[in-house]
Amino acid sequence: MVLCFSLTDFYKFYEVIGLKWKARRSGDHWFDDLPRTALLIFKGINVLVKSKAFQYAMYAVVAVNGVWILVETYMLNSGFSWSRFVPWSYIVFLTIYGVEMLLKITGLGPLAYFSSGWNLFDFSVTFSAFLGLIALAFNMEPFYFIVVLRPLQLLRLFKIKQRYRNVLDTMFELFPRMASLGLTLIIFYYSFAIVGMEFFADVIYPNCCNTSTVADSYRQINITVGNRTFLDEGYYYLNNFNNILSSFVTLFELTVVNNWYITMEGVTSQTTHWSRLYFMTFYIVTMVVMTIIVAFILDAFVFRMNYSRKNKEPVGDPEDENGIVFEAEVSRDEALATLELYKQTCPGGTNLNSLQGVLLSMEQSGHSTLVFLGRRSRTKSDLSMKMYEEEIQEWYEEYARELATALPATRGTDELPCPGVSLPGCTA
């Protein structure tokens, strides 16, 4: 069996190859099949959570929460007790955020709610705040750090202004691409950590560098003042290469230039002056690597700003939330033909069960066609194609003219393209 694609379909092959496809529901909302009373209730909730008034009301609550956090901090610094002022405000704002989360889940539906990055962020912060409330209520001191996550709700205010949204959108788009850079940085740190452990393990300890100019940073002595004796301790002996974790911490402090010369002079005083080559090499390589990372991030931000200037997207553009979305309609005959093809080529494949499920759902619903939605996150290539859409069209037209000019030269040969077909080996 020979399958032929049209030229238009083949052009879209690259765009759809990475999509995750799901069948679209028959209705626009998850509650369309519910009884009338429940339908009206959930439809009202859906209209409420999508309204501008609801969104700006929640922005106002987040702003008030931020101001109240400042008030709480001032009260605590003034000697007021934590138990008197914090729990009530904590409970009030957490209740508001919890009600908002439940309204959005019921109004939009769980799938639609959790498909949005902002909603996932809201859910994570609200759930963390709930865990923090439990930690406070049961006096679970090891988990008090969760309470610190409460001010993260203020990041929601970035959604108000387009410029702020561009910053966060760029950061979210950078995360997948930063994974390779992060892995490179870890390998770079690991390599220098192993070399440092081989050369400088156990050479740094308290009172190790009394002959160097940085001896005070490593000195550990008892000082008596009156009737009191206390330990005067320099903590730079903790920056050592005794193990892999200590080496990573030491290298990080060298990267951020945190009194790097104290660490270098301490090691040099215990070894030889040739040890400076290790620190000089690390510093030079660090500058190169960090410059590449900074240039990578700046390029992404500059591209995003240019894209925003050239393409004025509406605030409610669904592309901002859903990424790239393609819609394809499959008829029952096409599904049956594909099922027969899979039975012949790969009878034991998992796609066979999926196709059978699609046909079963079409028979149960009585529909002759089924609409599939394919989604994936936006990439820089997608933004570039939209940003330079006019230029790409000009390039395409120029290529079409060149092809039309070159086509007469191929007449009478075996290289004539198959009309309406772009796959090699396809014959008319």
Following DSSP, what letter does each residue of 224-280 receive, concatenated?
Answer: EETTEEEEEE-GGGGS--SSHHHHHHHHHHHHTTSSHHHHHHHHHHHS-GGGHHHHH
Domain match, 153 and 182 both: no
Of 132, 134, 131, 108, whose CA–CA distance to 119 is shortest?
108
Residue 61 lies in a domain: yes
Which of 159, 193, 218 corresponds to the end of one domain? Answer: 159
Domain match, 13 and 44 both: no
Return d(Cα 417, Cα 426) in angstroms, integer: 9
Domain match, 292 and 391 both: no
Domain match, 54 and 24 both: no
**Which residue range(s) make up the domain with 127?**
36-159
Domain match, 40 and 67 both: yes
Residue tagged 């605030």 (tokens): 315
Provide the token pair at 78: 């003034």
Return d(Cα 136, Cα 88) in angstroms, integer: 12
Number of domains in the chain: 3
Residue tagged 């956090």 (tokens): 69
CB-based contact 246:238 (threshold 8 Å):
yes
What one-character DSSP code corresponds to residue 158?
G
At 78 the three-state DSSP class reads: coil
Q: Give me the pLDDT at residue 168, please.
A: 72
Which of 265, 297, 329 corresponds to the end of one domain? Answer: 297
Provide the token pair at 126: 């609200």
Torsion on CA atoms 302, 305, 311, 313, rounded to nearest 10 = 140
Residue 169 lies in a domain: no
Provide the token pair at 84: 């008197």
Domain match, 155 and 239 both: no
Return d(Cα 91, Cα 345) in angstroms, integer: 60
Domain match, 41 and 24 both: no
| C-alpha of 121 from chain center | 11
Domain match, 233 and 215 both: yes
Domain match, 105 and 43 both: yes
CATH number at residue 251: 1.10.287
Domain match, 144 and 231 both: no
Residue 360 lies in a domain: yes
Return d(Cα 357, Cα 367) in angstroms, integer: 14
Residue 312 lies in a domain: no
Q: Compute the Cα dihedral for 404, 406, 412, 413 and give only its sign.
A: negative
Tens digit of pLDDT per residue, the chain (428 long)? Answer: 445 567 776 767 766 777 777 776 655 677 777 788 888 898 899 899 989 899 889 888 888 888 887 887 777 666 655 554 456 777 888 889 899 999 999 988 888 888 777 888 888 888 888 887 787 777 766 555 566 666 777 777 777 776 677 777 777 777 777 788 888 889 999 999 999 999 999 888 888 888 888 888 888 776 777 777 666 677 888 889 999 999 999 999 999 888 888 999 989 988 899 999 999 999 999 999 889 888 888 887 887 777 766 665 544 443 445 567 777 777 777 777 877 777 777 766 666 677 777 777 777 667 777 777 777 776 667 777 777 777 888 888 888 888 888 766 555 544 444 444 333 334 33
| C-alpha of 192 from chain center | 29
Domain match, 113 and 42 both: yes
Return d(Cα 135, Cα 122) in angstroms, integer: 20
Please classify residue 250 by burial: count the beta carbons closer than 10 Å to its beta carbon, then call 0-12 exposed, 13-18 middle and 19+ buried. Answer: buried
Residue 306 lies in a domain: no
Residue 171 lies in a domain: no
CATH number at residue 72: 1.20.120.350
Domain match, 254 and 331 both: no
CB-based contact 190:329 (threshold 8 Å):
no
Q: State the DSSP string of 92-118.
A: HHHHHHHHHHHHHHHHH-HHHHHTSHH
Residue 413 lies in a domain: no
Considering only CA atoms, give the Rg of the chain.
32
Residue 272 lies in a domain: yes
CB-based contact 282:192 (threshold 8 Å):
yes
CB-based contact 185:252 (threshold 8 Å):
no
Q: Give me the pLDDT at residue 427, please.
A: 39
Of 255, 249, 279, 251, whose CA–CA distance to 265 is shortest?
279
- Annotate 219-238 with three-state secondary structure: CEEEEEECCEEEEEECHHHH
